[in-house]
Amino acid sequence: MTIENKIIVSGLVPTLIVGILFSIGLGIFTDAQAGYSALGGMVLTLAFFVFGQYVIGRVLLTKPEIGLGVAMIVYLTQLIVLLVLIKLLMDAAWLDGRSFGIAIFACTLSWSAGSVWVMAKHKNVVIEPVTPQALKMSKDD
């Protein structure tokens, strides 16, 4: 399994658990609309973060030197768009805005925690060591 797939799975699993438990809890203790709204927030968050991680993975395969910059731009854009969607849909009659927003917030935190956890556990060589012979050969060219 590649690191990109590990990051997606490590974000997907805790986000699904948090989102589904939150939706079920809201559905039981409040009303069905709150549960469905939380479920919609979870699905929206997953769609954003899985697509974003896919884009970052493609960039890292082709141009790893710009990977960090692209990752920061993608993550910041995702958060801004999610905040704008929360603000726009907060007062929608067909949606429980509070449950929707809290689910997005909780799912974003769980995705981030899962991704950080797998990146901390995964040891990836960023700079490959160069032998003196390879340096001498590159100077001769």
Q: What is the pTM of this model?
A: 0.78
Residue 63's φ and ψ, nearest 5 degrees, are: -140, 80
Total structural domains within the chain: 1
**pLDDT per position in the chain (141 positions), as tens?**
676 777 788 889 999 999 999 999 999 999 999 999 999 999 999 999 999 988 888 888 888 888 889 989 998 998 899 889 888 888 888 898 889 989 999 999 999 999 888 878 876 655 556 666 665 665 555
Cβ atoms within 10 Å of 105's Cβ, excluding its own? 15
Q: Show the domain range for 63.
A: 3-140
pLDDT value for 21: 95
CA distance 24 to 61: 39
